[in-house]
Amino acid sequence: MNMQNIVKLPERTLLGPGPSEINPRVLVALSQPAIGHLDPAFVSLMDEVKGLLRYAFQTSNRLTFPVSGPGSAGMETCFVNLIEPGDKVIVARNGVFGARMQEMASRIGAQVVTVDDEWGCAVDPNKIEAALRAHPDACAVAFVHAETSTGALSDAKTISEIAHRYGCLTIVDAVTSLAGSPLYVDDWGLDAVYSGAQKCLSCVAGISPVTIGDQALAKMKRRKSPARTWFHDLELIDGYWSEGGTRAYHHTAPVNSIFALTEALRLLKQEGLDRAWNRHQENSQQLVSGLQRLGLDMLVQDPAVRLPQLNAVRLPVDIDETAIRSRLLNEKNLEIGAGLGPLAGKVWRIGLMGYSSRPENVSFCLDALGSELGGAIQTAVGE
């Protein structure tokens, strides 16, 4: 076979907000020959991947499966099935993705009550409770567990306890937390949770693990009208993904991507969740210590609410941060992320997710930043 015409992509060290680097074993799984999405061999794999996702989420939820689409598709799946026009929803906003939840709920026709916290801070459970007291007719509380735009980790367990006390379901964004930070779906009582495969699972983008609990399923069954989607309708999808019986065709699943996800989840189980969480924490501590030696401060000041897998670092004034990131990418093949929204130009987002979270990557990043920042500061002083 002539391979000369295949475009070769650069090999990057991916330390941005996602995607992360992919383990070589996952790449091998991805490259297997394609088979049909109703092939008995693939159906067997579907059962395995559901079991492995239950381990990753720490849940026994029957409806736990990979949505065909990125994390935003998982978000849409949860909202469009659980929220109806006219429902009142409390949405916490402490970054870009809380605001995206608000947008999603608004487009469905929900009455959205927003609870705002400063970017770089966790969601304040007291504000959630105050909003629920003021709106006793709310049916759901939606929040981001790990806010990728700021690196802040919120207390999902406490927020869930408060929501249930007021008779509300929880819809939780765990795109960046799954496999990177402690997440206990069942023990914390989380009702509908979605994630992304390209973050701490170190798989390909375009797959969104989702888990739906019994209370959320019960609300879905009580809908007054069908979900306003065909592709993300869980009533239809469940017929394809449910164990046992005949699989009902719904759509052509991304077979090779699910091969890859299965291998990524096998690797996670082989390492163990506790060890994976600890690895992310240890590598983040090494990174933060090195950044502080370079004179840089973290956006999230409290280590207890700082994400180990997404480190937002404040930038010195008077540096051309875009030029530095460009040189890192083009000269050193190192990708780090820019700030979003009001943090644009003010922070870098350095991801240590999944397979990217390795000590050698931390050292490489710190050496590269030290070289760049030294030159940038000398230039600024000279000017």
- pLDDT number for residue 8: 87
- Average pLDDT (66-84) is 97
Positive or negative: CA dihedral 278, 281, 284, 286: negative
382 has a pLDDT exceeding 60: no
The share of the chain scoring above pLDDT 70, in percent, equals 96
Least-confidence region, from 74-78, 212-216, 235-239: 235-239
- Average pLDDT (276-291) is 98
- Average pLDDT (307-319) is 94
Q: Which CATH superfamily includes the segment(s) 272-382?
A: Aspartate Aminotransferase, domain 1 (3.90.1150.10)
Say what angle helices 96-108 and 71-82 make with each other, to 10 degrees.
40
Nearest 5°: the CA angle 293, 298, 299 is 160
Q: Half-sphere exposure (CA, 13 Å, Cβ side) for 1?
A: 3
- pLDDT number for residue 242: 84
CATH of domain 24-269: 3.40.640.10
3-state secondary structure of 132: helix
Question: Are the beta carbons of 186 and 60 closer than 8 angstroms?
Answer: yes
Looking at the DSSP bridge assignments, the partners of residue 144 are 173
379 has a pLDDT exceeding 90: no
pLDDT tier for residue 40 given thresholds of 50, 70 and 90? confident
- pLDDT number for residue 318: 85
Segments making up each domain of the chain, as ranges: 24-269, 272-382
- pLDDT number for residue 248: 82
Average pLDDT, the chain: 94
- pLDDT number for residue 249: 86
- pLDDT number for residue 380: 39
- pLDDT number for residue 245: 58
Q: Which two tokens stand for residue 218?
A: 């019960």
Q: Half-sphere exposure (CA, 13 Å, Cβ side) for 330?
A: 6
359 has a pLDDT exceeding 50: yes
Nearest to 156 by CA among 238, 13, 63, 57: 57
Nearest to 306 by CA among 268, 352, 339, 271: 352
Express the helix, strand and coil content of the chain in percent, nearest 5 each: 45, 15, 40
20 has a pLDDT exceeding 90: yes
147 has a pLDDT exceeding 70: yes
pLDDT tier for residue 3 given thresholds of 50, 70 and 90? low
Q: How far apart are CA 187 and CA 134, in angstroms?
A: 27
At 82-113, the pLDDT tens digits run 999 999 999 999 999 999 999 999 999 999 99
- pLDDT number for residue 1: 57
Which residue intervals of the chain are DSSP H helices? 24-30, 40-57, 71-82, 96-108, 125-134, 156-165, 185-188, 214-221, 234-241, 255-271, 273-293, 321-332, 359-382
pLDDT tier for residue 2 given thresholds of 50, 70 and 90? low
Question: Are the beta carbons of 249 and 237 closer than 8 angstroms?
Answer: no
Q: How far apart are CA 278 and CA 181, in angstroms?
A: 8
pTM of the predicted protein model = 0.95
Positive or negative: CA dihedral 182, 183, 184, 188: positive
Q: Which two tokens stand for residue 115?
A: 């609870």
- pLDDT number for residue 244: 66
246 has a pLDDT exceeding 80: no
At 171-187, the pLDDT tens digits run 999 999 999 999 999 99
3-state secondary structure of 313: strand
Q: Which two tokens stand for residue 23?
A: 């383990």
Q: How far apart are CA 31 and CA 19, in angstroms?
A: 18
Q: How far apart are CA 21 and CA 198, in angstroms?
A: 8
Burial class (CB in 10 A: 0-12, 13-18, 19+), 200: buried
